[in-house]
Amino acid sequence: MTNTPISAVVVGLGVHGVGIATLLAEAGVNVVGASDPRIAGQDLADVTGREEQRGVAIQKEISELPWSESIDIAVLTPKVSIGILTNLAIELLQHDTNVVTLVEDAFDLERFAPADYERLNAAALAAGRSFVATGSQDVLWAGLVTQLSSQQRDLKEINIQTHLGVDGYPEEFVTWCSIGNTPDQFEETAAEAATTPSVFGAVLPVIATRLGLTITDEKREITPVLLDYDLPSETLGRDIPAGQPAGRRDVVTVATDEGITLSAELQTTGVMGHDEFTAVLEGSPRATLRHEIEPAHLSVDAGLVNRIPDVVTAPAGVIRTVDLPLPTYRHVVSLPTLEGAAK
Q: Mean pLDDT over residues 326-338, rounded?
A: 84
| Percent over 90 (pLDDT), the chain | 71
pLDDT in tens, 38-61: 999 999 999 999 999 999 999 999
User: String of b and e for 160-172 (b: at least 16 CB within 10 Å)?
Assistant: bbbbbbbbebeee
Length of the chain, please? 343
- pTM, whole model, 2 decimals? 0.77
Mean pLDDT, all residues of the chain: 91
Q: How far apart are CA 343 and CA 98, in angstroms?
A: 8
Enumerate the β-bridge partners of residue 161.
265, 278
Does residue 341 carry a pLDDT above 50? no
Q: Mean pLDDT over residues 27-32, rounded?
A: 96
Predicted pLDDT at 340:
46
CB 199 within 8 A of CB 137: yes
Position 105: which residue type?
Answer: D
Does residue 92 carry a pLDDT above 50? yes
Predicted pLDDT at 320:
87
Q: Can you give the residue ranges of every domain in the chain?
A: 7-135+298-323, 153-284
CB 74 within 8 A of CB 98: yes
Does residue 2 carry a pLDDT above 70? no
Q: How far apart are CA 283 and CA 53, in angstroms?
A: 50
Q: How far apart are CA 207 and CA 253, in angstroms?
A: 13
CB 238 within 8 A of CB 218: no
Predicted pLDDT at 296:
60
Q: How far apart are CA 262 and CA 17, in angstroms?
A: 32
Does residue 293 carry a pLDDT above 90? no
Q: Determine whether domain 153-284 maps to CATH 3.40.50.
A: no
Could you tell me the pLDDT band of residue 68, with boundaries at 50, 70 and 90? Answer: very high
Are 7-135+298-323 and 153-284 equal in CATH topology? no
- Of 18-27, 99-108, 267-276, 288-297, which range is least confident? 288-297
pLDDT in tens, 177-206: 999 999 999 999 999 888 877 777 678 888
Q: Mean pLDDT over residues 119-144, rounded?
A: 91
Annotate the chain with three-state secondary structure: CCCECCEEEEECCCHHHHHHHHHHHHCCCEEEEEECHHHCCCEHHHHHCCHHHCCCEEECCHHHCCCCCCCCEEEECCCCCHHHHHHHHHHHHCCCCEEEECCHHHCCHHHHCHHHHHHHHHHHHHHCCEEEECCHHHHHHHHHHHHHHHHCEEEEEEEEEEEEECECECHHHHHHCCECCCHHHHHHHHHHHHCCCCHHHHHHHHHHHHCCCCEEEEEEEEEECCCCCCEEECCCCEEECCCCCEEEEEEEEEEECCCCEEEEEEEEECCCCCCEEEEEEEEECCEEEEEECCCHHHHHHHHHHHHHHHHHCCCCEEECHHHCCCCCCCCCCCECCCCCCCC
Q: Which CATH superfamily is domain 7-135+298-323 in?
A: NAD(P)-binding Rossmann-like Domain (3.40.50.720)
Could you tell me the pLDDT band of residue 343, with boundaries at 50, 70 and 90? Answer: very low
Q: How far apart are CA 203 and CA 264, in angstroms?
A: 9
Could you tell me the pLDDT band of residue 295, with boundaries at 50, 70 and 90? Answer: low
Q: Mean pLDDT over residues 165-183, rounded?
A: 91
Does residue 338 carry a pLDDT above 50? no
Could you tell me the pLDDT band of residue 27, with boundaries at 50, 70 and 90? Answer: very high
Could you tell me the pLDDT band of residue 274, with boundaries at 50, 70 and 90? Answer: confident
